[in-house]
Structures are given as structure tokens and as C-alpha cells.
Amino acid sequence: MKRSFFSVFFVVFIFLGAYAQDKPAIIPKPSKIEWKNSEFQFSSSLTLYADAEAEKSLKWLKTLLNATGSELEKASEKEAIVSLKIDKNLSSSLGNEGYQLKVTSEKIKIEAATNAGLFYGITTLRQLFPAEVENGKITSEFSIPAVSITDKPFYEWRGSMIDVARSFFDLDYLKKHVDRMALYKLNRFHIHLSDDQGWRIEIKKWPKLTEIGGQSAVKNGRAGYLTQAEFKELQAYAKERNVIIIPEVDMPGHTYAALQGYPELSCDNFENLDPKRATPPEPYHGVEVGWSKFCMEKPVVYDFVSDVIAELAEITDGPYLHIGGDEIEDEHYKEFVVKAEKIVRENGKTAIGWEEVTQAKVDDSFISQRWTGTTKSVVDTRIIESICKSFYLDHGNIPNQPNTYSWCKKDGVSLKNVYDFVSENENAIGVEGAVWTELVHSDATADDRLWPRSIAVAEVGWSSPKKKDYSEFTKRLGTHGKRLDYLGINFYKTPDVQWNATKIKGVFSTVEK
């Protein structure tokens, strides 16, 4: 009898252990997750319910469930198998982006205080599905494990930045990036729109910015620009996926592309270009930085800045405009950034800039984006952490990766470097991974630099630092290899991750069919 008992116990133990190992990998790691010893079996038909306020989120649920091949029908809350519900009382415990997801053997229920929370609950449900869901259709019968998840983000700002100024990325790629961000609950998309090599946003009052500056790029890079209509289309696409677009026009340095079309923004004899790596109207294709700036003594420069900020503010849905402000020394610098930041506020937006801007007495509403952490600030502002040794993803995934930078960190910025970041600044509102494109000239290369390190950025931004465990993270990440392949992402196969990957390619569309 005793022997029989332990034999049974051993079999049950092995079964439960194997069952636990087969659990889907949720990224970012939820605040609280409790797996149950049962599962929900998908059937040929599913009944859905969404209360009046949750109707906005129903299309995302339908898009996900369409992949199951089940017939979908609306039903009452009591009779529905899958339900969405807004409960504003949850805001005190879950905030604006948190959610509760409960899967039993009979029902699936998602509750949140807002539609943003429901969206993230649906996103987590998506990760419970087989990876084939990313291809738009699951070809066999399947079930998902029963689970209870209560989840909310650690930081409000969970960002990704792509520099489209050095080498251009078109609307199609930017939309794909938004989709990929949303899967991992990244919610701020910062687009670097202007630099020495190119100007990428249409400004109707100053048309030569794109007529001339939009036609150049870094050597081997791509030229082009976004029309205002395309920019609005991207914002609408992102907004539906709870992603806010942050446009950046860099000033008063990194301005050569603007000077190409409007030489009057330069000083006499182009004394504002030092060294003179190029002079207007010739294009600049190099990678060197810190040599161009506006002639800040000229009143026309402030006319230009006022017009550009006003027009950009008018076409930007989100509350933020980024004014750059990095890598420049000039006696007029502090005066310039104070004026530029004020112009942003006068146009109803909150100004963001690189950390150097905080050398000047800008308004307390200003948000500083730290990339070196060495600037001596004279103002107390909110902070986005983009420290280069942890978040500059144009650096190599591994030491000496070809066509990557190493100026900030000689051995590259590894997945672990990203994941291990912990901010010690009480003013930090979040984190942002950045890809500069002097050496990134194709969609495939951008994918390689962004993924999977952007997934680590996402977990750093969403999950509590106290719960971070790199070894455990890499195990969860490895199971996402097949999912990333189905999404058609040319991600870097980080050596210390055991990837579950496939050569099958596909694209999951979050557009309602």
C-alpha cells in the first residue's frame, strides 16, 4: 500500500510538473498570476458579451478569436462564454492600464477600469494562444490553461524610438512596429524626424524641408518623408493600439537637413557649421555629428522654430513634442531651448528634450530624456531613462556585431544589459529603447537591432523590478521565438536564449476584418 501510494504520488507529481512547464510564456511578466489545474477548450462556436463602455474593445477580441475558426455570436453577460467589462472602481487598484483576466474551464472574463486595460488583457489572452495565432489562423483544435491574472504596469512610459532621419522607414514599417510594440505592451513611439542627413515630416509653411531635405540620407540609407496625411494615419493606427506617437524635430543642433533648403537659417559664411562637412545646398551623407546648428542670433530662426512647432503641434494628437537639444555647445544655447520649450507649451503640448536641455531653466513641465546621465540639471523634471549603455539598440547585440556602434559600450548592449536596468531616480516615469540609423539601412536590420531587446525594454517598463529574474525571463522569451517568426520579424537569435523558432513566416493583422 505504501509503495503504491508513492508510485501514484510520483506519477501525479511528474504530470503536474510537466503541465507547469507547458504553461504559455507571458511577456511582460504579470503582477500576479495563478495557474489552475484545468483548461478552457475552444469549440466551434463562442458567445461574446461586452458592456456598453467596452464595445470599443470588442473588435480586438473578435480579431483574436477569429483565428480560432469559431463562430462568434453576441449574448447576454450571464450566457456569454467570453466577456469584456469596464469597472471604473478598478482604477484605484489597477490604474488606467491594468486588467484582470480570468480563464476557467467554462468561461473567459476580462475586466478593467478603461478600454486601454481591456486591450492589454486581450493582449495577454493572445499570448495564451498557440503561436500560430500570429499567422491569423490556428489550424487544429486547442485549449488554453485556466488562469487568474491581475496585472498593471510599473511605469507609465514604455517607449521605443526609431531614427528615420538618417535612413528613412516608411509608413508600412512604422505600422508594423506599432503592432509589435502593442503585443508587448509598449505604449510610446518616439520618431526622430530630423537630423543632418534628412528631414522626414512635411511642414507646409516651409516646403523645402522635404522637397530638398527629404531627398537625402546617410550613405547607403534610404531617403523619403512622411506627408502630414501619412503622419495622421500613423497616429490614428497607433492610438487604436494604445500607442502615443512622439515626434521629434532636433534643434538647435543636428540641423543640416533644414539648412539645405533654407540657408538663411545659417550664419554668414556658414560659421555655424564647424567643421564644414557640407555646405548648402549640397546633401550630407556622413555619420559624424555635432557640427551643425542654427545661427541663433538671427530672428528668422525663431520664426522658423515657431512655425514648425505650431504646425507639428496642430497635426499631433498626443500631448508631447520632442525638441531634441543634444550635443551642442553655443553661448545662445540656453536662451534658445528656453524659448523653444515655451513655444511648445504655448501650442498646447508638453516639451520633451534630451538631458542637455535641463542645463537651462525650462519649465517644470518639461520631460528630460537621459542618455548619458552626466548632465548637471538646474531644474527638477520628470525623466525618461534611455541611458545609452542599457538602451541604445544601435549598439551590437553581442560584442563586435558587424555594422553596429560601440562608442557608449565597447562590448555592445546585450539583452541582459537591457533587462538588468533599474532606475534609481525617483523622477523616472519610464524607459525607452532607441535605434539610431547611421548604420541601419533596411527593415531587416532594424528588426535585428530592435528585437528581442525591445521585449526586454517592455518587461523593464511593465513589470516590477523586484520580480525580475533574467534566467527566468530568457526561458519565457525562448518560447516566443516561434511567435516572432510567425510575425515575420527578423529578430536576433540571442545566444543565451534557447529559441523555439520556425522558418514559417506570417503576419498577424490587428485590423478588424
Q: 234-244 pLDDT, tens per residue?
A: 999 999 999 99
Task: Quote the mean pLDDT of the chain.
Answer: 93
Residues 6+ away with beta carbon under 8 Å from 329: none
State which of 108, 126, 151 marks the end of a domain: 151
Q: How far, in Å, CA of 318 to CA of 244, rounded?
A: 6
My answer on whether 140 and 166 are in the same domain is no
pLDDT (tens digit per residue) in 402-449: 999 999 999 999 999 999 999 999 999 999 999 999 999 999 999 999
My answer on whether 338 and 436 are in the same domain is yes
State the pLDDT at residue 424: 94
Q: Which CATH number does the domain housing residue 360 bear?
A: 3.20.20.80
Q: Tell me the angle at which helices 299-315 and 228-240 cross, rounded to the nearest 10 degrees.
A: 50
Q: Does residue 423 form part of some domain?
A: yes
Catalytic residues: 327
Q: Does residue 418 form part of some domain?
A: yes
* CA distances for 22 relative to 4, 205, 475, angstroms: 27, 58, 12
pLDDT (tens digit per residue) in 231-268: 999 999 999 999 999 999 999 999 999 999 999 999 99
pTM of the model: 0.94
My answer on whether 164 and 293 are in the same domain is yes
- The total domain count for the chain is 2
Q: Which CATH number does the domain housing residue 72 bear?
A: 3.30.379.10
Residues 6+ away with beta carbon under 8 Å from 11: none
pLDDT (tens digit per residue) in 176-220: 999 999 999 999 999 999 999 999 999 999 999 999 999 999 999
Q: Does residue 387 form part of some domain?
A: yes
State which of 107, 131, 151 marks the end of a domain: 151
My answer on whether 218 and 339 are in the same domain is yes
Q: Which of 63, 38, 32, 61 is nearest to 48 (CA)?
A: 61
- Which of the two residues, 10 and 401, has the higher pLDDT score? 401
My answer on whether 138 and 114 are in the same domain is yes
My answer on whether 128 and 263 are in the same domain is no
Residues 6+ away with beta carbon under 8 Å from 134: 483, 486, 487, 506, 507, 508
My answer on whether 190 and 89 are in the same domain is no
Q: Does residue 235 form part of some domain?
A: yes
My answer on whether 81 and 144 are in the same domain is yes
Domain that holds residue 167: 157-468
